Structure 1
Amino acid sequence: MANHANSGMPRRLGEATSSTEVPAALESHPLGGRRLVVRVGDGEMPLFEDQPILDSLRSPWHGLILEMHHHRGCEIPVHDHETLCLHLQTGGQVDMDWFCSGKTGRTRSVPGSMMLLPAGTRDSVIWHGSTQRMVAGIEPSLLKDAAEQMGIKGLFDFNLKWSFRDQQLEALLNEMNREMRSGFATGGLYGDLLGMALSVGLIRRYGELSHRIPSFKGGLSRPHINRILGYIEENLSDGIRLDDLAVLSSLSRYHFARSFRESLGETPYQYILKKRIERAKTLLRQPRTAVADIARSTGFSDARQFARMFRKITGVSPAEWRRNA
């Protein structure tokens, strides 16, 4: 692996002179662990030196980690990405020099600018100023699973992009950021749907495919609808996941989510949230039932989350709705 002496690049402050000398022998973390990391020589280091402003450590997401950073001008030395890395700049304007596969370039990054670095990319960059950005790391297994559920065979790589705009991916990352800021209040099912939507969007737009992406037509059969809605009704107090529902329909998660929406006109998350609020209204009519108990019995993590989602759907707090019921 090349080092800084050969590349002619300045070192990050306090960094060892060889790219194989990893600071403090960073312990290896699986994706979804404490930090988003890259490989340097035989070890690992955080992608950014400073701690993230916000991260998905406590999220219910699988195969996906998201960090929000406000980082200073710096150099990130030669490193390897073991997972797909997707950047979205949210603040600041900065020039960045990149070095990858014997090529160099400079790009100006502004709010809304994105970068897509596929797993296996070896690169180094120099940021010439401060910037705020979200960075998502996505495991190959998550993308492979999404591709298989879409009926795609032969997905083998993604196109590296140093600067591009994509409104759909930007909206998904911003929604994930909102989820982080809320403490992942909407739970695992919504996270499953966000992760699936992000994976599908990446594959459809930037995946190099050996087969054309198939179309999908048709909703759920009536027996499947009855089975799924019955399951939801019986398990509203529990954490229902997308996998749980897909199994009942004998479909992949991707095809199930599309079929459910085609059949009922709303996503599984929207339907379940509506049913939980309906059950909560029934319980609120019982004056001796505490709001905290209603929250638990309708599948919300706590009374605060319940109150926020109840107000979002009805426009009033649970207490106000109870007084007027």
Structure 2
Amino acid sequence: MHEQDSIKENVVLQTVPRLPILRSQDTTSDILRVEHHHQPANQKSECCLPKYLISIHLGQPIQLERIIDGQYSHDCLAKGDIMITPPHLHRKLFWDVNADFLLLRLEPKLFASAAYESIDAEHIQIVPQLKICDPLIQQVGLTLKTELERDGLSDRLYAESMANALAVHLLRRYSDQTRKIRTYPGRLPGHKLQQAIDYIQAHLAEEVSLEAIATELDMSPYHFARLFKQSTGYSPYQYVIRCRIERAQELMVQELQSIASIALKVGFASQSQFGRHFKRLTGVTPKQFLQK
């Protein structure tokens, strides 16, 4: 596979032997793309992309040779080992046996948003990591893989929430800056919280975006998400799901509509997604709820 584009003055290059077996939907590609790869033995890849790349090894151990910006290195990667590559870093990889890995592509704007209050926000860089063990990244990656397998990671708010969490974690642990990313104690002011809730309620049937809510409140997505959770006990994503299920229950009592129709009416991408969240939060399936 070959992908070649031109972004400003940077040439974008990616060559891998095979396309990913699964990849997330385009609805979230401007912030996060998740790919599950099975690549054949004794092959090579080359890339230079304008994104942050996190690679999580999933399969059997492999011997991996790398040439990164002209520097050679060699490692044995085992299950759970992670590589982190910042944007525009040219790398060539060679491996000896079938490689099974998850690739997360994060947009630079996520990092700018998370670090915007830092004095040197524009100059913060993530230091390349060739082989690390990071339980948080692994947990987030496997959770994203599950969502990818279920519905293609189609929920934008969910993808934004996970991507923002990853960006903040990378800035805190792998940045070249000693200055820490600010934490936000306290809660949203009452009027800001009500403004966020009103926005969510007004847009439940649509694709609710973390960025859109934060913009409405004139805050960064990271700042808003932290204070919203500290104010309500729920992340914005968890809160929206709860609101959608409550709205669905009201419609199921009031109107004679199909479960599929109600699922779409309250903002779920599919009936199966709706059913999964409905049972998780209520303890019964939508059909069982209607039969009560």
Q: Same fold (TM over 0.5)?
A: yes
Q: Which residue of 1 aligns with 2:199?
A: 231
Q: Which residue of 2 aligns with 1:268?
A: 236
With normalisation by structure 1, the TM-score equals: 0.80
User: Which one-letter code corresponds to 1:211 in the other structure?
Assistant: R
Q: Which residue of 2 aligns with 1:204?
A: 172
Quote the sequence identity (%).
24
Q: CA deviation at 1:133?
A: 0.1
Aligned partners of 1:61 and 1:191 also within 8 Å:
no
- The within-5 A match list for 1:54-203 is 54-76=22-44, 79-148=47-116, 153-184=121-152, 187-203=155-171
Alignment partner of 1:44 out of 13, 35, 38: 13
With normalisation by structure 2, the TM-score equals: 0.89
Q: CA deviation at 1:318?
A: 0.6
1:46-69, CA deviations, whole angstroms, 9 ceiling, x for partnerless residues? 3x2111110124343423222111
User: Which one-letter code corresponds to 1:106 in the other structure?
Assistant: H
Separation in 2 of the partners of 1:142 and 1:302?
28
Mark the CA change 1:150 to 1:178 in structure 2 (over 3 Å): closer, same or farther: farther
SS at match of 2:64: strand
1:270-289, CA deviations, whole angstroms, 9 ceiling, x for partnerless residues? 11111111121122223622
Q: CA deviation at 1:83?
A: 2.6
1:28-61, CA deviations, whole angstroms, 9 ceiling, x for partnerless residues? 388xxxxxxxx9xx77343x21111101243434
Structure having greater relative contact order (Cα 8 Å, sep ≥ 6): 2
Aligned partners of 2:25 and 2:154 also within 8 Å:
no
Q: Which residue of 2 aligns with 1:286?
A: 254
SS at match of 1:104: strand
Separation in 2 of the partners of 1:268 and 1:151?
28
Aligned partners of 2:12 and 2:48 also within 8 Å:
no
Report how many residues are paired.
290
From the CA coordinates, give the structure whose radius of gyration is larger: 1
Aligned partners of 1:81 and 1:120 also within 8 Å:
yes
Aligned partners of 2:268 and 2:274 also within 8 Å:
yes
Mark the CA change 1:102 to 1:278 in structure 2 (over 3 Å): closer, same or farther: closer
Task: Please list every run of 5 or more consecutive structure 1 residues that lacks an aligned counterpart in the other structure.
Answer: 1-22, 31-38
Aligned partners of 2:147 and 2:153 also within 8 Å:
yes
SS at match of 2:131: strand
Aligned partners of 1:59 and 1:180 also within 8 Å:
no
Separation in 1 of the partners of 2:264 and 2:60?
42
Alignment partner of 2:5 out of 28, 41, 47: 28
Mark the CA change 1:285 to 1:29 in structure 2 (over 3 Å): closer, same or farther: farther
Q: CA deviation at 1:115?
A: 0.8
Q: Which moved more, 1:61-70 or 1:258-267?
A: 61-70
Separation in 2 of the partners of 1:234 and 1:139?
28
Mark the CA change 1:322 to 1:209 in structure 2 (over 3 Å): closer, same or farther: same
Task: Please list every run of 5 or more consecutive structure 2 residues that lacks an aligned counterpart in the other structure.
Answer: none
Q: Which residue of 2 aligns with 1:18?
A: none
